[in-house]
Chains A and B, each alone.
Chain A
Amino acid sequence: MSLSRRDLLAGTAATAATAALPSGPAQAQSKRNVLKVVPHANLQILDPIWTTGYISRNHGYMIYDTLFALDDNLKPQPQMVESLDVSGDRLRYVMKLRDGLSWHDGTAVTADDCVASLQRWGKRDGMGQRLMAVTDKLEADGSKNIVLTLKRPYGVVLDSIGKISSNVPFMMPKRVAETPADKQIEDTTGSGPFMFNKANWKPGNLAIYEKFKNYVPRKEAASSAAGGKIAKVDRVEWYTMDANTAMNALMSGEIDYWEQVTPDLIDVLKKAPNVKIENLDPTGNMGWARFNHLVAPTNNPMVRQAIMKACKQDEFLKTAIGNPDYYKLCKSIYPCGTTYESDAGFVDQNLADAKTLLKQSGYNGEELVILQPTDHPVLNPFCQVLAEQIRAIGINVKLQAMDWSTVLQRRASKEPNDKGGWNMFTTWWIGGDTVNPLTGVGFGATGEKGWFGWASDEEAIKMQDAFANAASPEDAKKAATALQQRLYANGHYVNLGMFFVPVGYRDSVKGMIRSPVQFFWNMEVAG
């Protein structure tokens, strides 16, 4: 399928779109200037600070820039920042912005804008809230310098500001960043390598990003979220499609790139001509089976422990993913292959022990409700295996089938099972979200104020604080390992292992960046 200029205008207000297109006849066709993509989800919310949805985060990376960003080794590197000056007592951080940064509307990026942006993020994001709690003052010094003054030394300032996954502290113009944190922003002006074409945005169908010509990339090569972000196409188009349609469209060349290939379809696409499948995500995804700590029988720690002993990671991955190229056994709560990986405290399968524990727990056949999202290609088999494995030790399991959106609603219920409550659900986090004790929202143990499942554990909170305040990398590692042991011992969740969702693309696409998050700079399409 060749792509005509007209394709781009299909069904849109043609005049508005034309204005954004280069005029004159089509350029030489050696390099195409449009990249057609099917992202992993339907973009509905445009405010990546307001929501933690991954698709809104990816949208954020298209149009916004960040002060710091994680590189291939998950180390924070300056991105919008030219130079960083940390005082000897580690209390004062001065970040100087690079020259030439401008917003999409042409005005210059100032330190004021960045301060407002950090403040808004600090109200919503978990790591941001922690940072703000130790912050004494956050202010602009002139138009270039952002000055952060802390109350006490804090170990993860740059890890927070350079956070790779939701919520990412994206920089927005002050007028936008002054939107109350619990209200969505409407203005999509950013300073990133692409601009959002809001006039032609059709939620549920199409989102268009156009190259921001005045973006000044860093000189370094791209490395995960860090390095030079060079937009090599004039336009990136995100289409919403279901898996089957996306596969067909990729095979027939109607799209160039599919962000998340459903496991079952990997083999078909591998055989298709001119299509490639590749895993670009080094830290993968972490499968979780979460317990509800408020509702019987999973409010009983011994029952949780028995269930953990009944589960065998291998079985989950084999059934849900199938192809061993795309999964990895992992006993760590942090992605295997990253800094804090550890086997400490992992609960291995032991059916005899599990049965004994269950007997001692006083469990007497109460129903255990699992929320099963049947429309989800990975979580659905996870639930089925979970049910089989814990039935085997004598638990009375009730699988409640529903769609994923309904799971998201039902899991918010703290009621007992007979009033619409639940005991377990399966979910996943991208590895980038669980690289350390603070990034993982699910690691939280703040009880009913925290994440679904509402685990409450003072000890775990102390360990997270210890990590945040760690003086050295060794101390940090120690705190991270202690937290892992604590979470396993307390039956925080069942670790279902690591899996990878590959991308599928036409062989004309080049320049993909290996990262836990999908970026579209640096990518190009041959004609």
Chain B
Amino acid sequence: MVSFIVRRVLSTLPVMIIVAIVVFAMLRLTPGDPAVVIAGDQATAEQIARIRSNLGLDLPIHVQFVTWIGQLLQGDLGISIFTNMPVSTLIAQRLEPTLMLSLTTICFSVLVAVPLGVWAAWRSGTWTDRVIMVFSVLGFSFPVFVLGYLLIYEFGLTLKWLPTQGYKSPFSDPVGFVRSIIMPTITLSMIYIALVTRITRASVLEVLSEDYIRTARAKGQIERKVLFRHALKNAAVPIATIIGIGIALLIGGAVVTETVFNIPGLGRLVVDAILRRDYPIIQGLILVFSFTYIIINMLIDIAYTFFDPRIRY
């Protein structure tokens, strides 16, 4: 088992290197020129050329790459072209809202989706099952921002129950935090709920068809007990997997949700950076997102070996 863990950890290295190369190549080959954007509306060609050389953008591309990797290894993500602030500082500033939104979304989704999925599996083949499944497909299909705007319109502007935008930290303003996080959480949860519901239903269905459950049922154990004690317990592994895989979905959704609700998180940071061609921020953030994803999935894989020793890779 130790050797598996070591192998699994080592296997993330080449993936991370590939991500770094892809990210660098992608952004440095763009025709967009940040110097021009920085120089602003009235800049002359001379000023632009000067800015470009200040930023090192006139150096050969392989020199830029080597410099960048060197800094990266020292934990230095570079300096934002526009704000002159270290990318790591910018990320640190924006980390909390995204982290909080992800946490509330995962909790809310699991609380809603797992019971729904179990219920659908239990009632498999009936109209209840079909309706739940159609709703879960709808969750995949509905554009996140349309739902966001509908919620803002109804609960923010018409009923005035909740703030229309912004984020409050739970550490300084718990009530404000709850009020401001409700609509973004619902919005972002939709696609996640859909995903987890489907997986839960499928996993529980599979377990329900296994012999020992049939035995338990035949022995006259109460359905609910069978469902939760046996079925759900054994379905836990695939559900955990999907939560790991879903991190990528969550990040994509967070980009949109943060834009709709004006939440100062990492998603907004990366969108702004892309529109302004602020390379160091884009590179830094895509790397951070990807590495987070790689590490979470590595941890989940390793966790399996503890939960379910049958699994081997």
| In the complex, A touching B (Cβ < 8 A) | yes
Given the known interface contacts A202-B94, A203-B85, the answer about A409 and B37 at a Cβ–Cβ threshold of 8 Å is yes
Of the candidates A1, A182, A203, A241, the one whose C-beta lies within 8 Å of that of B54 is A182
Minimum Cβ distance to chain B for residue A382 (Å)? 15
- Interface flag for B172 (CB, 8 Å): yes
Docked CA distance A469–B40 (Å): 29
Within 8 A of B (CB), among A404-438: 405-406, 408-409, 412, 414, 420, 427
Given the known interface contacts A45-B38, A52-B43, A242-B259, the answer about A1 and B163 at a Cβ–Cβ threshold of 8 Å is yes
A248 to B164, Cβ gap below 8 A?
yes
Stretch at the interface among B44-52, B56-64, B221-229: B44-52
B164 to A42, Cβ gap below 8 A?
no
B262 to A242, Cβ gap below 8 A?
yes
- The interface size of chain B toward A, counting residues with CB under 8 Å, comes to 55
- Interface flag for A21 (CB, 8 Å): no
Given the known interface contacts A186-B84, A203-B85, A242-B262, the answer about A51 and B173 at a Cβ–Cβ threshold of 8 Å is no
Given the known interface contacts A1-B163, A202-B93, A204-B264, the answer about A7 and B83 at a Cβ–Cβ threshold of 8 Å is no
- Interface flag for B154 (CB, 8 Å): no
* B51 to A, closest residue via Cβ: A182
Q: How many residue pairs between the two chains, A and B, have CB atoms under 8 Å in the bound complex? A: 135
Determine the chain A residues whose CB is within 8 A of the CB of B268 once the complex forms.
204-205
- Interface flag for A184 (CB, 8 Å): yes
Docked CA distance A242–B260 (Å): 9
- Interface flag for A166 (CB, 8 Å): yes
- Interface flag for A4 (CB, 8 Å): yes
* A272 to B, closest residue via Cβ: B157
Docked CA distance A204–B33 (Å): 20
* B264 to A, closest residue via Cβ: A205
- Interface flag for A512 (CB, 8 Å): no
Docked CA distance A203–B79 (Å): 13
B172 to A10, Cβ gap below 8 A?
yes
Stretch at the interface among B18-26, B234-242, B272-280, B296-304: B272-280
Residue of A239, A412, A420 ringed by the most chain B CB atoms within 10 A: A412
Minimum Cβ distance to chain A for residue B272 (Å)? 5
Minimum Cβ distance to chain B for residue A204 (Å)? 5
Docked CA distance A45–B82 (Å): 6
Minimum Cβ distance to chain B for residue A182 (Å)? 5
Question: A141-157, CB under 8 A of B: which get 1 and which 0?
Answer: 00000000000000000
- Interface flag for A245 (CB, 8 Å): yes
Docked CA distance A10–B175 (Å): 12
A204 to B269, Cβ gap below 8 A?
yes
Determine the chain A residues whose CB is within 8 A of the CB of B152 once the complex forms.
248
Docked CA distance A52–B157 (Å): 37
Minimum Cβ distance to chain B for residue A38 (Å)? 10
Determine the chain B residues whose CB is within 8 A of the CB of A184 once the complex forms.
84
Determine the chain B residues whose CB is within 8 A of the CB of A53 once the complex forms.
40-41
A52 to B173, Cβ gap below 8 A?
no
B82 to A44, Cβ gap below 8 A?
yes
- Interface flag for A254 (CB, 8 Å): yes
B33 to A412, Cβ gap below 8 A?
yes
B164 to A4, Cβ gap below 8 A?
no
Determine the chain B residues whose CB is within 8 A of the CB of A10 once the complex forms.
167-169, 172-173, 176
Determine the chain B residues whose CB is within 8 A of the CB of A219 once the complex forms.
none
Given the known interface contacts A10-B167, A249-B166, the answer about A449 and B44 at a Cβ–Cβ threshold of 8 Å is yes
Docked CA distance A450–B164 (Å): 45
- Interface flag for B14 (CB, 8 Å): no
* A251 to B, closest residue via Cβ: B157
- Interface flag for A175 (CB, 8 Å): no
Docked CA distance A206–B264 (Å): 9
- Interface flag for B130 (CB, 8 Å): no
Question: A167-184, CB under 8 A of B: which get 1 and which 0?
Answer: 000000000000000111
Within 8 A of B (CB), among A4-57: 4, 6-7, 9-11, 14, 42, 44-46, 51-53
Question: A218-253, CB under 8 A of B: which get 1 and which 0?
Answer: 000000000000000000000101100100110110
Docked CA distance A1–B83 (Å): 32
- Interface flag for B287 (CB, 8 Å): no
Determine the chain A residues whose CB is within 8 A of the CB of B259 once the complex forms.
242
- Interface flag for A403 (CB, 8 Å): yes
A44 to B264, Cβ gap below 8 A?
no
Docked CA distance A291–B100 (Å): 50
Docked CA distance A242–B40 (Å): 20
- Interface flag for B117 (CB, 8 Å): no
Minimum Cβ distance to chain B for residue A338 (Å)? 20
Residue of B47, B160, B172, B269 ringed by the most chain A CB atoms within 10 A: B172
- Interface flag for B80 (CB, 8 Å): yes
- Interface flag for B156 (CB, 8 Å): yes
The 4 closest A-B pairs by CB, nearest first: A205-B264, A248-B164, A52-B42, A44-B82
A-B contact pairs, 30 of them (CB 8 A): A6-B168, A6-B173, A10-B167, A11-B97, A11-B264, A14-B172, A46-B84, A52-B43, A183-B54, A203-B83, A204-B264, A204-B268, A205-B93, A239-B262, A241-B165, A242-B259, A245-B261, A249-B164, A249-B165, A251-B157, A251-B164, A252-B160, A252-B164, A403-B275, A405-B37, A408-B41, A412-B48, A442-B42, A450-B44, A451-B44
Q: A182-B54, A202-B264 are in contact. List 6 more A-B contacts (CB 8 A).
A: A6-B176, A241-B262, A248-B152, A248-B164, A249-B165, A409-B32
Interface residues, chain A, with chain B CB atoms under 8 Å away: 1, 4, 6-7, 9-11, 14, 42, 44-46, 51-53, 166, 182-184, 186, 202-206, 239, 241-242, 245, 248-249, 251-252, 254, 403, 405-406, 408-409, 412, 414, 420, 427, 441-442, 448-451
